[in-house]
Chain A
Amino acid sequence: MSHDASLTNRNFKVVGTRVPRPDGVDKVTGRARYGADATAPGQLVGMILRSPHAHALIRSIDTSKAEALPGVKAVITSADLPDKVNGRRDLLDILENCMARGRALYDGHAVAAVAAIDAETAKQALKLIKIDYKVLPHVTDVDEAMQEGAPIVQPWVRTAGGDPNKETNVSQISEFGHGDVEAGFAEADVVIERSYKTEQTHQGYIEPHACLASVGPDGQGELWVTTQGHYTFRNQCAELLGMEIAKLKVTSSEIGGGFGGKTHVWMEPVALALSRKANRPVKLVMTRDEVFRATGPTCSTSIDVKIGVKRDGRITGAKAVLRYQDGAFPGIWGMLGAMTSWACYDLPNVKSIAYDVLVNRPKVAAYRAPSAPMAAFAVESTMDIVAGAIGMDPVDFRLLNAAKEGTRASYGPTYGPIGIRATLEAVKNHPQMKVKLKPNQGRGMACGFWFNFGGQTCATVNIGVDGTINVSVGTVDVGGSRASLSLIAAEELGVPYETVKCTIADTASLGHNDTTEGSRGTFSSGMAIIFACRNAIEELRNRAAKTWDIPVQDVHWQDGQAVALGIQHSNLQPLTLAQIAAKSPRTGGPIAGHNEVVADGAGVSFASHICDVEVDPETGATRVLRYAVIQDAGRAIHPDYVEGQFQGAAAQGIGWALNEEYIYGKDGRLQNPGFLDYRIPVCSDLPFIDTQILEIPNPGHPYGIRGVGETSIVPPLAAIGNAVSNAVGVRLTHVPMSPPRILKAIKAERSLAGDRRVSAG
Chain B
Amino acid sequence: MKVAVSGPLRDAVGGAAAVDVEAATIRELLGRLVDRYPRLEAQLDAGIAVAINGEIFRDNWSEPIPAGAEVVLMPRIQGG
**Of the candidates B10, B54, B74, B75, which one forms a contact with A416 in the assembled complex, judged by CB atoms under 8 Å apart?**
B54
With CB as the reference atom, state the residue of chain B lying closest to A601. B55
A contact residues around B6 at 8 Å (CB): 176, 411-412
CA distance in complex: A259, B34 (Å) = 35
B contact residues around A335 at 8 Å (CB): 7-8, 75
Report if A748 contacts B (CB, 8 A). no
**Of the candidates B10, B59, B63, B80, which one forms a contact with A517 in the assembled complex, judged by CB atoms under 8 Å apart?**
B80
Q: Is the CB of B55 within 8 A of A455?
A: no
Q: Is the CB of A1 within 8 A of B11?
A: no
B contact residues around A336 at 8 Å (CB): 77-78
Q: Is the CB of A411 within 8 A of B78?
A: no
Chain B window 48-80, contacts with chain A (Cβ cutoff 8 Å), 1 for yes, 0 for no = 000101111111100100000010101101111
Report if B29 contacts A (CB, 8 A). no
Q: Is the CB of B80 within 8 A of A710?
A: yes
Residues of A within 8 A of B (CB): 1-2, 90, 160-161, 172-176, 203, 258-261, 263, 332, 335-336, 338-339, 366-370, 411-416, 450-456, 517-520, 598, 600-602, 700, 709-710
CA distance in complex: A97, B68 (Å) = 46
A contact residues around B75 at 8 Å (CB): 174, 332, 335
CA distance in complex: A454, B8 (Å) = 22
Q: Is the CB of A413 within 8 A of B56?
A: yes
- In the complex, how many angstroms separate the beta carbon of B39 from the nearest chain A beta carbon? 9
CA distance in complex: A136, B72 (Å) = 44
Q: Is the CB of A260 within 8 A of B55?
A: no
A contact residues around B53 at 8 Å (CB): 413-414, 416
Q: Is the CB of A453 within 8 A of B77?
A: yes
With contacts A176-B6, A456-B59 taken as known, whether A339 is within 8 angstroms of B80 at the C-beta atoms is no
CA distance in complex: A267, B72 (Å) = 38
Q: Is the CB of A451 within 8 A of B77?
A: yes
CA distance in complex: A415, B70 (Å) = 11
With CB as the reference atom, state the residue of chain A lying closest to B43. A160
- In the complex, how many angstroms separate the beta carbon of B29 from the nearest chain A beta carbon? 15
CA distance in complex: A453, B75 (Å) = 13
**Given A413-B51, A518-B80, A600-B58, 19 further pairs, Cβ under 8 A:** A1-B60, A172-B8, A174-B8, A175-B10, A176-B6, A258-B80, A332-B75, A335-B7, A335-B8, A338-B7, A366-B78, A369-B79, A413-B70, A414-B53, A414-B70, A453-B56, A455-B58, A519-B79, A600-B59
CA distance in complex: A440, B55 (Å) = 46
- Top 8 nearest A-B pairs (CB, nearest first) are A260-B80, A518-B79, A413-B51, A161-B11, A366-B80, A412-B72, A412-B6, A368-B80
Q: Is the CB of A600 within 8 A of B80?
A: no
9 contacts between A and B (CB under 8 A): A172-B8, A174-B8, A335-B75, A413-B55, A413-B70, A416-B54, A453-B58, A598-B60, A600-B60
Report if B23 contacts A (CB, 8 A). no
Q: Is the CB of A413 within 8 A of B60?
A: no
CA distance in complex: A2, B55 (Å) = 9
With CB as the reference atom, state the residue of chain A lying closest to B6. A412
A contact residues around B7 at 8 Å (CB): 174-176, 335, 338-339, 411
With CB as the reference atom, state the residue of chain B lying closest to A367. B80
Residues of B within 8 A of A (CB): 4, 6-8, 10-11, 46, 51, 53-60, 63, 70, 72, 74-75, 77-80
Q: Is the CB of A518 within 8 A of B78?
A: yes
With CB as the reference atom, state the residue of chain B lying closest to A409. B54
User: Interface centre among A258, A335, A370, A598, by most B CB within 10 Å?
Assistant: A598
User: Interface centre among B53, B58, B74, B80, by most A CB within 10 Å?
Assistant: B80
A contact residues around B74 at 8 Å (CB): 411-413
A contact residues around B51 at 8 Å (CB): 412-413
B contact residues around A456 at 8 Å (CB): 59
Q: Is the CB of A453 within 8 A of B79?
A: yes
B contact residues around A261 at 8 Å (CB): 80
- In the complex, how many angstroms separate the beta carbon of A27 from the nearest chain B beta carbon? 22
**Of the candidates B4, B63, B79, which one forms a contact with A710 in the assembled complex, judged by CB atoms under 8 Å apart?**
B79
CA distance in complex: A416, B54 (Å) = 6
Q: Is the CB of B79 within 8 A of A600?
A: no
CA distance in complex: A91, B53 (Å) = 34
Q: Is the CB of B54 within 8 A of A414?
A: yes
B contact residues around A90 at 8 Å (CB): 46
A contact residues around B60 at 8 Å (CB): 1, 598, 600
Q: Is the CB of B54 within 8 A of A415?
A: yes
**Of the candidates A259, A517, A518, A700, which one forms a contact with B55 in the assembled complex, judged by CB atoms under 8 Å apart?**
A700
With contacts A1-B60, A412-B6, A413-B72 taken as known, whether A517 is within 8 angstroms of B78 at the C-beta atoms is yes
With CB as the reference atom, state the residue of chain A lying closest to B17. A178
With CB as the reference atom, state the residue of chain A lying closest to B51. A413
- In the complex, how many angstroms separate the beta carbon of B45 from the nearest chain A beta carbon? 8
Q: Is the CB of B58 within 8 A of A160?
A: no
- In the complex, how many angstroms separate the beta carbon of B76 from the nearest chain A beta carbon? 8
B contact residues around A172 at 8 Å (CB): 8
A contact residues around B57 at 8 Å (CB): 600-601
A contact residues around B79 at 8 Å (CB): 260, 366, 369-370, 450-453, 517-520, 710
CA distance in complex: A700, B51 (Å) = 13
With CB as the reference atom, state the residue of chain A lying closest to B49. A453
- In the complex, how many angstroms separate the beta carbon of A474 from the nearest chain B beta carbon? 15
CA distance in complex: A1, B58 (Å) = 13
B contact residues around A173 at 8 Å (CB): 8
Q: Is the CB of B78 within 8 A of A600?
A: no
B contact residues around A517 at 8 Å (CB): 78-80
With CB as the reference atom, state the residue of chain A lying closest to B39. A161
B contact residues around A369 at 8 Å (CB): 79-80
Q: Is the CB of B72 within 8 A of A600?
A: no
With CB as the reference atom, state the residue of chain B lying closest to A410. B6
CA distance in complex: A16, B25 (Å) = 36
B contact residues around A455 at 8 Å (CB): 58-59
Q: Is the CB of B77 within 8 A of A518?
A: yes
CA distance in complex: A369, B80 (Å) = 6
- In the complex, how many angstroms separate the beta carbon of A648 from the nearest chain B beta carbon? 12
- In the complex, how many angstroms separate the beta carbon of B65 from the nearest chain A beta carbon? 13
CA distance in complex: A450, B79 (Å) = 9
A contact residues around B46 at 8 Å (CB): 90
CA distance in complex: A368, B56 (Å) = 19
CA distance in complex: A263, B79 (Å) = 9
With CB as the reference atom, state the residue of chain A lying closest to B9. A174
With CB as the reference atom, state the residue of chain A lying closest to B70. A414
B contact residues around A416 at 8 Å (CB): 53-55
User: Interface centre among A258, A413, A416, A709, by most B CB within 10 Å?
Assistant: A413
With CB as the reference atom, state the residue of chain B lying closest to A264. B78
- In the complex, how many angstroms separate the beta carbon of B3 from the nearest chain A beta carbon? 11
CA distance in complex: A517, B56 (Å) = 16
A contact residues around B63 at 8 Å (CB): 1, 600
With CB as the reference atom, state the residue of chain B lying closest to A411. B6
With CB as the reference atom, state the residue of chain A lying closest to B8. A174
CA distance in complex: A710, B80 (Å) = 7
With contacts A411-B6, A411-B74 taken as known, whether A259 is within 8 angstroms of B58 at the C-beta atoms is no
B contact residues around A520 at 8 Å (CB): 79
- In the complex, how many angstroms separate the beta carbon of A157 from the nearest chain B beta carbon? 14
With CB as the reference atom, state the residue of chain A lying closest to B62. A598
- In the complex, how many angstroms separate the beta carbon of A338 from the nearest chain B beta carbon? 7
CA distance in complex: A307, B63 (Å) = 38
With CB as the reference atom, state the residue of chain B lying closest to A331. B78
Q: Is the CB of A160 within 8 A of B80?
A: no
With CB as the reference atom, state the residue of chain A lying closest to B71. A413
B contact residues around A367 at 8 Å (CB): 80
- In the complex, how many angstroms separate the beta carbon of B7 from the nearest chain A beta carbon? 4
